[in-house]
């Protein structure tokens, strides 16, 4: 299980909670809970469905700035498609 805690000032607004629900409802294997007293969203994933950039983009789309609380699970960091080239010799 992958867990992520996101602080997003303003997410306590009912309209924002409904918009967030609309964005997340179709994501399989993902659960979330909003702590409206503290503007915190707790996310749980069965597998890495999103990258951290995609999660931030969803919040940005709703007019919220997502700030990650704690460290980002490595499974949510995008994998680099480039390979380090080492000199021969």
Walk along the chain (89 residues) and give the pLDDT tens digit of each residue: 899 999 999 999 999 999 999 998 888 889 999 998 999 999 998 988 888 999 999 999 999 999 999 988 888 887 655 555 666 65
Q: Which residue has the tokens 């996101």?
A: 6
Residue 42's beta-bridge partner residues? Answer: 5, 33
Closest C-alpha to 11, from 32, 36, 42: 36
Q: What sign has the CA pseudo-torsion 11, 38, 5, 33?
A: negative
Using DSSP's 3-state secondary structure scheme, residue 9 falls into coil
Q: In angstroms, rounded to a whole number, what is the distance separating the alpha carbons of residues 38 and 40?
A: 5
- Find where tokens 């409206």 sit: 36
């Amino acid at each position: 299980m992958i867990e992520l805690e996101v602080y997003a000032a303003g997410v306590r607004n009912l309209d924002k909670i409904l918009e967030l629900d609309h964005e997340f409802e179709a994501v399989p294997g993902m659960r979330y809970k909003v702590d409206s007293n503290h503007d915190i969203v707790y996310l749980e994933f069965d597998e890495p469905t999103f990258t951290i950039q995609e999660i931030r983009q969803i919040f940005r789309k709703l007019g919220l700035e997502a700030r990650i609380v704690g460290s980002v699970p490595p499974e949510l960091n995008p994998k680099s498609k480039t390979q380090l080239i080492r000199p021969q010799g």
